[in-house]
Amino acid sequence: MTETTVPTIETNNGTAIPQLGFGVFRVDPARTAEIAGNALSVGYRHIDTAAGYHNEDGVGEAVRASGIARDDLWITTKLANGDQEHPEDAFQASLDALGLDHVDLYLIHWPLPAKGVYPQVWRSLISIAESGRARSIGVSNFQVEHLERIISETGVTPAVNQVELHVEFQQRELKAFHDAHGIATEAWYPLGGGTLSDAPQLRQIADAHGKTVAQVILRWHIQDGNIAIPKSNHRERMVENLDIFDFALSDDELRAIAALDKGEAGRRGTHPLKMG
C-alpha cells in the first residue's frame, strides 16, 4: 500500500479535502470494487461516486477491503436528479449502499433549474450536515445564479462546487465567484479528453519536464487551486496520474496553458441550463 503525497484544500467549514481524487463515473458496477480498490492501493485517499453512477456499493466494498482507516479517507457521493423530491431518503440509501455511517462530502448533482426545487434540496442537505452524516455539503454543476440563490435564501455557502473544468474550459468567472465566497472548485473531466494530448503547447511543456501531457494538465489543476477527479480503469494510469508532485510549472508555462482557454466554446458536457 502506497503512502499518498496529495496536498489538501481546507473547505469553508474547516474540513481538508485531498486535492487529487479518483472518480468512478462510468466505471462498470461489477468492476467498481476492483478498480476503486486499485486506486486506494496505489495511494488515492479520495473517491468520488454518485447515486446516479450505480456503483456506490462497489466503492464501499473497496473501502472495507482496503484496511485503510476511515478517517484517512474522503468519500464523496451525490444526490441523483430523480431523487430531488426526497433527498433525505436518497441520502440514507446512499449511506446504506456504501455501508458507511457518514460521507465526507454530499453534493446536489445538478441544479435542474426548470424543476426549481434546488433551494429546498439545499435546505435538506443543511439538515443532513447538521446531523453529522455528511462532514461537508456542496453542489455540482451550479452556476453563479444558482449559488447566489441558495446562499441568499439559507445563509449557508456550499463547501464545494464540482463542475466541468479543463484547460480549454477554465471557468474563470465561476472560479472568481467561488474564490470570493470561499467555495472550493472541483473539476470533473479534468483532462478534457484525449484530443488535448495533441496540443503542441502541452506537449512542449510535458517534454521539458519529462512528463506526460495528462500529468502536466493535472499539475496545472493543482497549481491553479482546483480539486481534480481523474478516472482510469488501468492501474498504471492511476499511478501516472498520482505522479505529479515532483515538478512544478513555471509562470511562463502557466500563462501558456491559460491561453488555451476557449471559454464556453470549450465546454464538452451538458450545459447546466439544459439538464433536466
Residues that are catalytic: 53
Around 192, how many Cα atoms within 13 Å sit in the side-chain half-sphere?
26
Place of cell 481524487: 21
Q: What are phi and psi of 62, to 5 degrees?
A: -65, -40
The CA distance from 40 to 28, in Å, is 17
Place of cell 474540513: 15
The CA distance from 248 to 259, in Å, is 18
Residue type, 188: W
Task: Tell me the sheet residues that pair with 8.
Answer: 18
End-to-end CA distance of the chain: 42
